Structure 1
């Protein structure tokens, strides 16, 4: 009898104890993020004895017991790659959806507090002014509604600008987060290499590294490679981000508008970022200028585009209101050519930020020009009052019909009065007095004007009708204005907007379209994000089925290893008793 059996028992106890410890480690980390289930790989030790001519001729080989060859992480590399590929897409749509959701809150449409509701009240106040042009209260309402509209534009522009600044700050935050993660990955690479050189399995360190790679893949689109030493290499846009113990930092630099551009810290070359949360922030914020990108997103610059649309709307309202208003007459029967809104000068104007009602209007609403045609006294030919309110009506009609703003500014006349036209100037002769009136518009190229002003060889005359308003007589208005959209938006007019204006919709329809476009894109981002969440959930469930800790299974393993441990202990006890018989009980005969 030898101690050979004791060694087998010892090895069994040690192996089962290690297996129990691994099982306990699994159970302890059942809820640890990124933890991968581990299993002990039990293998038989080298049997005794090795065949040779000097060996005794007996049964063999004899087993020498068991040992734990290694502790293995149960991981599916293919699933890891799939999850990381989908995580970058989910990260992109999460950023886009977050930006669009905030934009919807800022727009606040449809609601009683949104910009459209404020515009409606603004148009209604001008409509009311057409009915009560001499009312000071109605005129004050027009001024205050104009002020409210300006405040609404200012506030929305400020909110959108702040949103863009927040997105810009998020770009810098994400770049710093990327640098932190890549440094941690490189540090873990070094630790993992040292442990593997010692012949051990750095399972927990590899779990930490894989968790960092999962987080990084949500921020940017990365590719990963594992070398024979177990170290991971990470690439971004064709360039190495992490290689073994080394890593390359990203940084940001500001462009002329203060927007952060993502560049490589060592070469100052623009980093190519095609997906992930960072790309989503860049697209939403705008001005990415990625010359290397192969698939520009339709969601590029969604916040700047909304700001541009808001500025176009404000510019159109300012310019068209002013163009109409300054051609009219106020209650003092004066044509002061006064703008309703302040008219800025210079280039790159943020119209929504600077829109402001003229102080002269706010201080004295009676200066609001509501009338277009002066009414003449039939006996004296003098202007006596206003009854048409066509200026107020034209501004009110801006909501629905951009053509209404293009009407010719028609000057007054009296029945039977001779009139001649030269260069759009109408000379009306009454009681040996010549009154000089002006037609505003293109006479040569406008058929309606040509029809309205009937020409003869050496004289022109205006068709006149009589409209009884008390004892006043006015010339009839033209039924329609210019039908030419090009004229209305500046193709032939020196004063109409020439750039950045609404060219194919009414003011009301344009804003409806802008809000609808944001709503549609927001819904699409929700749908895309939900799709990615479902896909990631399915992949994660598959990963958990492979790598996750099942407590029921671990309890069964614990019982299995416990019984094996007990059996090994019993085996050692048995061997001890056998040796005790030989050592202590044999050779006692005859004593």
Structure 2
């Protein structure tokens, strides 16, 4: 009798297990098109057997539903989340680059009438003015040519301003998107925390929360596209999410992201996190290294700011060099130097035409020879932007000062002969005969000579025979070469102020403070340390620096002195200063010593490692006419690269998703086949119960019936 009862229990267990299995297949089929759903598999196993005395071996007790398994590759989930984090970052960057493509249409159409077109027209209008002076006076139309210059100058300044404003506008839009993305991330973190609570509760009852695990994974994927995080799994089934050492979800709790004010620019916010109840948010911006948030921050603070800096460099260099040239021109009425700058402002957003230039007639064009200033301005486009030769002594002399000797100056191999009766003005006229290669102006007000060229200059001076190096001597008679008389130095200068305009912390960089302490005041942040490579007097000096150094220490190392232990082979440069008033560095050298005492040689300042030359805005040897094209070429390359990288991550995600789908997807035919298999087992159990029922009926109704004999 007992054995029959075991049979009934076994059949009942089988029916329960296989009915649950059929329900599982039905659940799978019902969720064939549910996003993120993982196919579930009913695992049926034998129930624990019993040992009964007198029975050979154990007695089986049937089957049981041991688990409903969630079919999924958890390692693939981790890989997919990682790729989604990368994709989210690059998707934000690509959107920004597409906006830049619209701001700089030259990226797709180099011939479009953009900023480079305006730059070219500006220089061409000066050339047209210079050409007027080659005509007979009666055929000249100076007024029309000057009006054209004014018109193109207005177009140029307007385009600088509109491009700069467009970049700032995108930055502000990204700041808004940063806020919205943090809100979206907070909602997902809240959802994950709620799922954690449900999972802990269900697992605490010994059940498997497969559907909620799927929902949590969907939320984790969405969140991974927004921000980078590490997933830690707890034994209770909940997860902990950590971003750069900061916990954003812990079990059933989540910690909100919030915008925080930037110490550099109050317009642009950073990423904060409420890590502790009631405390101020912590700034975790540096911990955000992936996802859409990282892409927004990188696009706003690096990509867009980088192109803003380049526009500022171009605009400031225009202002600096054009003003140095135009301000030396003569007032046509008084005949004296007019000291009239052509531009005002110091960046792309602020560049404008000098208010004193109200009409074309206010534009000046002559210094020593009719139209010579116009000719120099016209050829400015092929000159270096931040490398020039200038006078570095304060002795009073004018353009009428006699040179006093016969000799020859060679500038980049071009020979210029002079005589003792020549004045400085005569020398400059001879120099400017080569205006396409180099040109020079004299500032009578400041006793300054300013010279630009299409390449770094090697200037050598020789005596009257053209062969003997012109070296100063006390005589008798004393001999003072022209290079010594003028006290010329060749300079590399910051192409724009290094400070960040409108910094929340103050926009002035100080000599006596460290780079690190002032990183919020600089346009380009320095790395922690690095090495500057100084090409000087035929040598290559390696000058180490650290961001903990004061600015003056960095300058001193380049100049040739340093406090404390002196590193070997310092350059001992003639000029090395940081002007707080200008917020610019000046590095230069004049006449060398010994055999090089008749020469002024080029110098170069580049980064062997680190970012110091970028912070100092030393842009290398690049010409006005090349800079914008170079910038557009850089942008074109970055756009193509960003699109390719985004596509690579998208392709990888698709591949991994397909692999995961092959594992998790519900196959209708397979599920129907399993359902039939479970149905047959269920039917067999029912038939088994029927057999046992017949056996019990026989046992109860037949073996216990009294015989007729007993009745008698």
- In structure 1, the partner of 2:530 is none
Give the C-alpha shift of residue 325 in structure 1.
2.7
- In structure 1, the partner of 2:400 is 426
- In structure 1, the partner of 2:361 is 366
**Distance in 2 between residues matched to 1:176 and 1:61, nearest whole Å:** 62
Contact 1:136–1:366 (8 Å) recurs in 2: yes
- In structure 1, the partner of 2:377 is 395
Per-residue deviation, residues 393-423 of structure 1 (Å, max 9, x unmatched): 2222122224999799xxxxxxxxxxxx981
- In structure 1, the partner of 2:306 is 305
Which one of 407, 420, 429 corresponds to residue 455 of structure 1? 420
- In structure 2, the partner of 1:243 is 250
Contact 2:398–2:424 (8 Å) recurs in 1: no
Give the C-alpha shift of residue 218 in structure 1.
2.7
Contact 1:319–1:496 (8 Å) recurs in 2: no
**How does 1:458-477 map onto structure 2 within 5 Å?**
none
CA change 1:353–1:583 in 2 (3 A) is same
Residue 291 of structure 2 corresponds to residue 276 of structure 1: yes
Residue 573 of structure 2 corresponds to residue 560 of structure 1: no
- In structure 2, the partner of 1:436 is none
Give the C-alpha shift of residue 168 in structure 1.
2.5
**Distance in 1 between residues matched to 2:83 and 2:360, nearest whole Å:** 61
**Distance in 2 between residues matched to 1:114 and 1:460, nearest whole Å:** 44
**Distance in 2 between residues matched to 1:86 and 1:96, nearest whole Å:** 15
For structure 1, list consecutive stretches of 5 or more residues without a partner in the other structure.
287-300, 375-387, 409-420, 429-438, 465-473
Contact 2:385–2:622 (8 Å) recurs in 1: no
**Distance in 1 between residues matched to 2:144 and 2:92, nearest whole Å:** 49
- In structure 2, the partner of 1:95 is 92
- In structure 2, the partner of 1:82 is 79
**Distance in 2 between residues matched to 1:332 and 1:407, nearest whole Å:** 30
- In structure 2, the partner of 1:262 is 271
Per-residue deviation, residues 117-147 of structure 1 (Å, max 9, x unmatched): 2222222222222234625443332222211
Give the C-alpha shift of residue 186 in structure 1.
1.8
Contact 1:84–1:214 (8 Å) recurs in 2: yes
CA change 1:508–1:496 in 2 (3 A) is farther
- In structure 2, the partner of 1:551 is 668
SS at the partner of 1:70? strand
TM-score of the superposed pair, with normalisation by structure 1? 0.75
Give the C-alpha shift of residue 327 in structure 1.
3.2
**Distance in 2 between residues matched to 1:36 and 1:404, nearest whole Å:** 63
Moved more, 227-236 or 487-496: 487-496
Per-residue deviation, residues 190-237 of structure 1 (Å, max 9, x unmatched): 111111122221111111112222222333322222222111122221
For structure 2, list consecutive stretches of 5 or more residues without a partner in the other structure.
133-139, 440-450, 458-488, 494-574, 586-616
Residue 352 of structure 2 corresponds to residue 356 of structure 1: yes
CA RMSD in angstroms, aligned pairs only: 4.1
**Distance in 2 between residues matched to 1:589 and 1:93, nearest whole Å:** 93
Contact 1:122–1:146 (8 Å) recurs in 2: yes
**Distance in 2 between residues matched to 1:476 and 1:81, nearest whole Å:** 69
SS at the partner of 2:666? coil
Per-residue deviation, residues 319-372 of structure 1 (Å, max 9, x unmatched): 32233233335887966737564413xxxx5x21122234554x5223322344
Contact 1:452–1:463 (8 Å) recurs in 2: no
Residue 300 of structure 2 corresponds to residue 285 of structure 1: yes
SS at the partner of 2:344? coil
Which one of 490, 494, 510 corresponds to residue 627 of structure 2? 510
**How does 1:315-330 map onto structure 2 within 5 Å?**
315-328=316-329
Contact 2:240–2:247 (8 Å) recurs in 1: yes
- In structure 1, the partner of 2:522 is none
- In structure 2, the partner of 1:160 is 167
- In structure 1, the partner of 2:113 is 113
Give the C-alpha shift of residue 64 in structure 1.
4.0
**Distance in 1 between residues matched to 2:431 and 2:273, nearest whole Å:** 71
Give the C-alpha shift of residue 304 in structure 1.
1.0
- In structure 2, the partner of 1:29 is 31
Contact 2:389–2:490 (8 Å) recurs in 1: no
Residue 124 of structure 2 corresponds to residue 150 of structure 1: no
**Distance in 2 between residues matched to 1:407 and 1:260, nearest whole Å:** 43
Give the C-alpha shift of residue 505 in structure 1.
1.0
SS at the partner of 2:66? strand
Give the C-alpha shift of residue 567 in structure 1.
4.2
CA change 1:546–1:340 in 2 (3 A) is same
CA change 1:475–1:541 in 2 (3 A) is closer
Asked which structure has the greater RCO (Cα within 8 Å, sep 6+), the reply is: 1
**Distance in 1 between residues matched to 2:366 and 2:70, nearest whole Å:** 85
- In structure 2, the partner of 1:292 is none
Residue 18 of structure 2 corresponds to residue 13 of structure 1: no
TM-score of the superposed pair, with normalisation by structure 2? 0.63
Please identify which structure carries the higher strand content: 2
SS at the partner of 2:211? helix
Give the C-alpha shift of residue 311 in structure 1.
0.8
- In structure 2, the partner of 1:124 is 124
**Distance in 1 between residues matched to 2:364 and 2:387, nearest whole Å:** 15
**Distance in 2 between residues matched to 1:541 and 1:403, nearest whole Å:** 54
CA change 1:112–1:17 in 2 (3 A) is same
CA change 1:497–1:130 in 2 (3 A) is farther
Give the C-alpha shift of residue 528 in structure 1.
2.5
Number of residue pairs aligned between Structure 1 and Structure 2 = 516
